[in-house]
Copies of this chain bind each other. A is one copy, B any other.
Amino acid sequence: MAHGIGELDTPCVLIDLDRVMANIARAQAHADANGLKLRPHVKTHKLPQFAKLQVEAGAVGITVQKLGEAEVMAEAGLNDLFLPYNIVGPRKLARLQALNQRVSLAVTADSEATLAGYSATFADTGKPLRVFIECDTGGGRCGVPTPDRAVLLARKLIISPGLVFEGLMTYPPAGRLAQSELWLSDALELFDAAGIPVPAVSSGNSPDMWRLKGGVVTEARPGTYIYFDRYQVEKGAATFEDCALTVLATVVSRPNGTRAVLDAGSKTLSSDLLGLEGFGYIGDYPEAIIKSLSEEHAVVELPAASAYPRIGDTVRIIPNHACVVSNLFDAVHVVQGGAVIETLAVAARGRVD
């Protein structure tokens, strides 16, 4: 039953449903207009309900980052999952095999060791595992370091029993999409010369999504766009008015004219700075800086001495990074027109393995 935001205890997470729907629609329209498949990363919301909204809007499936997230989403009825991760070790491979029987599933590999584990597990299951080669196009995390190595690993993949080569995948370096696309173009030329078809090229992240115009990349895996956050606004991917996730917090102390302390600390906002100054943006006090966090306190510095906000007042914070906030809450409140219309359990929260 709908009730007012004022009836909620703080800190808590509010999700503006109208903004969620607008963000989903805008990303899908961009993907459609540019001939891209959209496969949203559900790590941002961790909610099967929102994953289904994304698929209903036209997404080809979803992206998950951990097996545990995949299991939650499969249980909820999502049936086309990409898990862009090297799945390693006998326990995880057994879970992966069970999952592959239930849904359409693809994973990544960036080494022969990972491929060997996949092949040993899937050689005799009757349903092969679909595998992308992960490429380090400049991000410096996982991935084969050069296009040549991508071809070498693909050759190995193709002759591995139980596996199917699905294409190339990268998490591009932030703000260097052109460099990433050049790397992938070079790779596609080598694959072409080697006579190996590349069914798909998948690239991640929300800020770069708007710059993807089809061509090299065939499938996009943005996550944060469903909520956006302060980092995305800083990167020009959205405005504060697009941000769908806010943290509702209460002022618990006003030690002096320029300091206010909120009941939302790193257990609520996380300590992610992402290169920004302060730990979030307070809509009603745009010049205020969330200067430091301890686990249960945020220390806010006001630009000039002021009696406001007063002790007991609530404020809404747009966090630096929405995804990590979702992981800190057992439930979020869906709001529309100033009323709470539903409270959703964050079903895939805390699925670390």
Residues of B within 8 A of A9 (CB): 89, 91-92, 353
Main secondary structure of the interface of A (DSSP, over half): loop
Distance in angstroms between the alpha carbons of A253 and B295 in the assembled complex: 32
Question: How far is A323 from B266 in the complex, measured between Cα atoms in Å?
Answer: 11
Q: Which residues of B are found within 8 Å of A65, using beta-carbon distances?
A: 295-296
Is the pair B268, A271 in contact by a Cβ cutoff of 8 Å?
no
Bound CA span A140–B310, Å: 18
- Are A140 and B299 neighbours in the complex by a CB distance under 8 Å? yes
Interface status of A330 (Cβ within 8 A of chain B): yes
A270 at interface by CB-CB < 8 Å: yes
The answer to whether B143 and A255 have CB atoms under 8 Å apart is yes
**Contact A253–B111 (Cβ < 8 Å):** yes
Q: Is A311 an interface residue (CB 8 A)?
A: yes
Residue A79 interfacial (CB < 8 Å): no
Bound together, the chains give a CA A297 to CA B139 distance in angstroms of 12
Residues of B within 8 A of A85 (CB): 252, 263, 296
A134 to chain B, nearest CB (A): 8
Contact A11 B353 (CB under 8 A): yes
Q: How far is the CA of A145 from the CA of B257 in the complex (A)?
A: 12
Give A115-129 interface residues, CB cut-off 8 Å to B: 117
* Separation of A261 and B323 alpha carbons in the complex (Å): 21
In the complex, what distance in Å separates the CA atom of A272 from the CA atom of B11?
A: 20
Interface residue? A52 (CB, 8 A): no
The 8 A CB mask of A247-283 against B (1 = contact, 0 = none) is 0001111111001010110111011110000000000
CA of A267 to CA of B270, assembled, Å: 10
Q: Is A45 an interface residue (CB 8 A)?
A: no
Contacts of A11 in B (CB 8 A): 352-353
Given A270-B270, A324-B266, also A89-B255 (CB < 8 A): no
Give the residue of B66, B113, B117, B256 whose beta carbon is less than 8 angstroms from that of A310.
Answer: B113
Chain A 142-197 residues near chain B, CB threshold 8 A: 142-145
Q: Are A350 and B328 closer than 8 Å at their CB atoms?
A: yes
Identify 27 residue pairs between A and B in the complex whose beta-carbon atoms are under 8 Å apart, listed by A's number. A9-B89, A10-B353, A11-B352, A11-B353, A12-B352, A12-B353, A85-B252, A88-B251, A88-B311, A89-B250, A89-B312, A114-B252, A141-B261, A141-B292, A141-B297, A142-B252, A142-B253, A144-B255, A145-B256, A266-B324, A267-B324, A267-B350, A271-B272, A271-B273, A295-B324, A328-B350, A330-B350
